[in-house]
Amino acid sequence: MTHGLPDRLRIVSDIADEAAALALSFFRRHRDLEARSKGMNDPVSEADVAVERFIRGQLAAAFPGDGLLGEEDGGELAETGYWAIDPIDGTTNFLRGSPLWAVSIGYVRAGRPRLGVVVLPALGERFAAQEGFGPFVNGRRFTRAAGGGASRVISLGDSNDDDLSAMADLYADLRRTGHIVECFRCTALGLAFAAKGIVDGHVQRRTTVWDMAGGTALCLEAGLTVSVGSTATPKGWSVEAVG
């Protein structure tokens, strides 16, 4: 359901829904997919490529002239605004049959995510947000859930480029301050869970703009305190969103 959304967000949500259906069709036969490695623990499958190309084509038709940046087919950052696409965030999870993966589309202008749609196809949820309009789940506006009482839970994102000693220190610091630490290995999902209140926040010292753009827009509109570290390239970004 998208009829209650502002026009721009409705269009992107419809595109994301179709992309999610395509991704889910691949997921149902994940064991048979062709996949290759871009680096250590960084696989790409035929599903990633097909879903990104679908999203690119749909966005280009809906918003001609806007910049497009995707994990698989590249692109450029532009201060005037661009779409950041992660066709399947959490490809490792996807290829192993885990439901913890996402289709993520974000719109970034001047280094700040302004609009985001994150679909969790295997979990049946679509999160959407546009600057100034609040967050939506499955087309209905929602208010972030209150904290979990006695428990404090943080989603900790990781990257193949992490300084492992620094990450170990961060993990230890979070544990010392009484947090339960979850690592979903899917940035968009971690941020969506933070926006909904399933976890108290998401922290990631190193990520890419296509991983975090959609989910960060959700967290901003859900009222979390958000800090984004951006760079002049798609890689080496950071995000901290805490409720």
Query: Alpha helices of the chain — where are they, by DSSP H?
Result: 7-27, 46-62, 91-95, 164-176, 187-196, 209-222
pLDDT at residue 2 is higher than 80: no
How many residues appear in the chain?
Answer: 243
**Contact at 8 Å (CB) between 129 and 116?**
yes
Rounded to two decimals, the pTM is: 0.93
Parent domain of 23: 7-141
Per the structure, how many domains does the chain have?
A: 2
Task: Let me know whether 64 and 34 are in one domain.
Answer: yes
Same domain, yes or no: 167 and 234: yes
Which of the listed residues 141, 176, 195 is the one where a domain comes to its end? 141
pLDDT in tens, 23-62: 999 999 998 888 787 655 678 899 999 999 999 999 999 9
Q: What is the pLDDT of residues 106-120, one digit of tens each?
A: 999 999 999 999 999
* Residue 1 in domain: no
CA dist., res. 44 & res. 38, Å (int): 7
- Residue 2 forms part of a structural domain: no
Residues 135, 173, single domain; the answer is no
Domain for residue 147, yes or no? no
